[in-house]
Structure 1
Amino acid sequence: MPNGIAVIECYASRPPENVLDVAFTSAELAGFATDEARENAQAGADNATVFNVSYGSQNFRFFFTLDEDRSPGNPLLRVDCDEAIYPSEADSEAAYRDLMDALFELLCRLAVGLNVDYAALFNPENRNALAHSRPFDDGISELPRLGIYAQRVVDQFGGIDAMFDSPPWYTAELDEDKTVIADAESGWLDGPWQPPTEAPYLVDARFDTTATPAVDRELADPFGSFATGAYGADLCVPREQIGPEFRNEDLELVRAYVDEQRDLRRVADDSFVRNVVTDTTSDNVEVVKQQLAEVPADAREGDLTVSTLLPGAIPPSFVRLDEPDGENVVTRVMNLDVDTNKVELLISLGRAAQHGDGMDVATIESALDELAGLEDSDVVERWIEREFL
C-alpha cells in the first residue's frame, strides 16, 4: 500500500504558557534546526500557525493551534512527517536510524515539555488514533502503534493491561508521569530501527521479553540462486506501493523466469518485472532498491514492481516452479481464501521449514492443499493461527 503521510500529534488540556518556546527547545535538543522557523511563521487552516523545521535535509511542518477554546479533536501541535518514518524513503539504514532516533526523541521531549495528556506518532493505517473528545480516552477509537500517555489517561483506560490484549512490545517512563507505549512490532517500528532503552530523556525503558520473536528482517532474494531460464512465482507490489506492511489485496502473483541479464520477466508476456538481487551485503534499504537499479529500455512504467518475498526466512524452494504453470508453496498460499496476512504466513512457513521438526516443503505443500479443500474459511484461519503463526 502507499506509505501515506505520518504525523505526530500532541493533545494537552493544561499546556504551559510558552508553548512555542518549549516546542522549539524540545526540537533543538532532539537535533532539529529551528532558527529560520522562529522568524518565519505562516498562517494555516483552522487558526493554526505553521513553522518549517528541518533535520538534516528533511523538512517538517509544525502546526500550532494555540486557541484556548480549540476543539478536543484539534491538537495543540501537529508535526507533519511526510514519509520520513518509512525505511524505503531513506538513503541508508544508518540515515534511517538516525532520523527515527531524532523523531522519537522529539516526541518524548514534546510530551514532557507541553505536558500532554496524549501524544502519538502514527500513519494512515492508524488514522483512528486521533483524540476527538475529552476525557481523551473516550475520544480515541484506536490506540496508536506508538503513543505517550499521561498517568491520568492511563488510569482512565483502566491501566496498561486493560489497554491492550497482550503486554506491549515496548514501554518507557518519562518525566512528569508520562508513559511511552509501542503496542507491537510493525513495519517502521521494528525494521532497521527500534526505540532506545537508554537515553538522557528516558527515566526507564524495556522491551517485553515474552513477546513473539520478530520476523526475520535480513533480506535475501529467493531468486538469487536461480539459473538463467529458471521459473518461479513471485509476490509483487508496484514500486509506489512499497510500505511497512503488505496487504493481501495489494499482492500480485507473478509467474516469471530469469533472463540472461538476471532480470525477472513475466511468463505471460515477457515483460520486465524487476532485477534479481544477488548482492545482499548492503543494508536492507539498499537491497530493496537494487530490485529496480537497472531498468531495461523496454520496461513499461506500469509493470515495474518489487518483491514482498525478500525476508531471508523465505527459501528458494518456496518460489521455484518446475514448469511455468506449476504450483509451489507461494501459489498454494495465494490460493487460500483467508484474511490471514499471506506474506507473514509465508515467512512463518519459511521459519518452520528452516528449523526442521518435520516441516519440509513437501509436508507444507500437502498441508496447504488440505486447507484449500476446506470450505469454511474461519476454520482454515484458526488452523493456520494455531499451527503456523
Structure 2
Amino acid sequence: MGKGTIVMAYSGGLDTSICIPLLKERYGFDRVITVAVNVGQRDEEIAMATEKGKKLADKHYTIDAREQFVNEYVFPAIRANGSYEGYPMGTALARPLIAEEVVRVAMEEGSHSVAHGCTGKGNDQLRFDFIFRMAGLEVIAPIRELNLTRDWEITYAQEHNIPVTVAKEKPWSIDENIWSRSIEGGKLEDPAYHPPEEIYGWTAAQEKAPDTPEIISLQFLKGVPVALNGQAMSGLDLIRTLNVIAGKHGIGRSNMIEDRILGLKAREIYEHPAATVLLTAHADLELLTLTRQELSFKRMVDDRWSELAYMGLVHEPLFLDLNAFITRSQENVSGRVDVKLYKGSCRVLGRSAPEGLYSEELVSFDSGALDQCHAIGVSAYYGIQARMNKKK
C-alpha cells in the first residue's frame, strides 16, 4: 500500500526534477504534487518550471508571490541594511516564503508530508526544514538522504527522460529571485578558479559597461524605496527596473568565500545590482536621519537580524523583536538620495531629508547661531580621566 500524497517545493531544476520519480520509487508515495513559487525569477524559468511540473508530477501549482516577497521580505531587509558577510542576501530571504506556500498547499491537499531537493551540505535544507517542522509536517529530502552526487543525478535524469538544462561540463546551479542571482557548482567550487563571463546574467563586465556615468535619484519613505528618478513605482517594478539600469553598469557582483550555517566554507558568486544600489542609498540616508546613538545600536541590530535571516529563522522570537525595533527606527528615514553609477561602482553624490538632523545654520563656520565660547567649558572636561590617568 502506498504512502499517499507528498507536496514538494519545485524549481524545475535538476535536483527537484529527479526527486519526483525518486519519491515514488524509493519512498513509495502514490502522488507527488509540485509547487513552484514565483519570487521574481525570469519569466522563462517560471514557465519552464510550470511546464515540467505539469508533465512530471501528478499535480502542479505555480504561485505568484512576487509582491509579497518584496513587501514582506525585501523591504524589511532594506530597512535592516540586510547583508551577510558583505553581500546582500537573496536566496536566504526567499526560502521561508517558498516553504510557507508549500505548507499552505499541503494543508489544502490534506498531505502530512512535504519534500525539497536540497543537499545535506548547504543552507537551504535548514531554511526549508525549519518552516516545515514548525507546521508539524514530515520532511523528505531525497538528495540529502540518498547521498546523491551531481553526476549521478544527471545520469538518472537522462535514464528517466527528464529534461535538464545542465551538463557535466557546465553543471552550474543557478538560483534567482527579484533581489539576487546566485551561481555555484562545477569548477566554481574551486576558490582559485576564475569564473567565466558566461555565468553572469544580470551584470555587464566592467570593461563592457558604458563609458558614460549615469546619475539616478531614489526616494525613500520610512526606510523603503518608493520612487526612481521622480517616478513613483511599486517596490517590485522599482527593483526590476533598477536591476536593469545598475546591471548595465556592471554593479552588484560578489565573488567570495562564505561561511555556511553548518560551518563549511564555500565559494559563492552572486549578482545583485538593484540590491547594491538600494542598500548603499538607504544606509547613507540613515546617516542623515538617525541619531549617533541610534546608528551605533542599529548596526548591532542589523548584524543580528542579518544572521537570523541568513539562517532562515524568521519565526525566532528575537527576529520578531529586532524587526519591531528596526521598523520604529525608520519613522524619519524618508528623503532623496542621488547616486552615480559607473563601471561597477555605486557612489552617493548627495542626499536630503525633511527630518534630517543636519543643520547648515548650526554647523557652518560662518554662522553665529551657536556661541563658540560655550565649547570652552566642554573642552575643559573633555577626556579628563585619560589626562588624569596619564599623570600617574
TM-score interval for Structure 1 and Structure 2 normalised by the shorter chain: under 0.3
> TM-score with structure 2 length normalisation?
0.28
* CA radius of gyration, larger in: 2
> TM-score with structure 1 length normalisation?
0.28
